[in-house]
Amino acid sequence: MKTYVVSVITQDKPGVIETLSNLISTKQGNWQASNFCQLAGQFAGIVEFSIEEAHASDVEQALTALNEQGFQLQIKQGEGADSQSPCSTIDITGNDKVGIVKEISSALARHHINVIKLTSTSEPAPNWGGNLFKAQVEVRSPSQQALEEAKDALEAIANDLIVDIELG
């Protein structure tokens, strides 16, 4: 069995996921996980699937052929099972500013905290006149102490930043 991770970007239109799932299914692949969204008129995402070795070459060729339909894909073979250590979730809310994701990711990296998943938005803040930044970050930490130190570092980024950590 081989596992693949494929990143996809194409113009947003109905049927993108159907095209991918049909291709993977037709080639005897098993869709295991994915995350997709529409951003600025583009549809982008990532999918993980597994397939028998005998069908691997066929699915790679079929995926590559999608480039002719306007898809941009990056195909990578998986490197084994993910770590099973527990994850924690960090919720962050505050005034949006240029560089906030860089500052957040730097604070986490300095404390050797691995980002598993990051979801963020910037939306108008009611009654403030600016934008409100919201992020949910799923992480794996080497220790509880590292997580507490990272929380302090995150809260130091801005005096209005609210950081809540749910331990996994």
Q: Find the helix or strand (DSSP H, E) in which 148 lies.
A: helix 144-155
pLDDT tens per residue across span 125-135: 887 778 899 99
**Domain residue ranges of the chain, discontinuous segments joined by +:** 2-77, 88-166
> What is the C-alpha end-to-end distance of the chain, expressed in Å?
30
Q: How confident is the model at residue 25 (pLDDT cuts 50, 70, 90)?
A: very high
In this prediction, residue 161 has a pLDDT band, given cuts at 50, 70 and 90, of: confident
Quick one: tokens of 67? 């480039």
CATH number of this structure's domain 88-166, picked from the four choices 3.30.70.260, 1.20.120.450, 3.10.20.600, 3.30.300.30: 3.30.70.260
Per the model's pLDDT, the better-predicted residue between 48 and 164 turns out to be 48
What per-residue confidence (pLDDT) applies to 39?
A: 94
Measured distance CA(48)–CA(43) in Å, rounded: 17
pTM of the model: 0.76
Residue 10: closest CA among 81, 66, 92: 66
CATH dotted code for 2-77: 3.30.70.260
- pLDDT score, position 125: 82
Residue pLDDT, tens place only, 70-123: 999 999 999 865 556 789 999 999 889 999 999 999 999 999 999 999 999 999
Can 2-77 and 88-166 be said to share one CATH topology? yes
CB 1 within 8 A of CB 52: yes
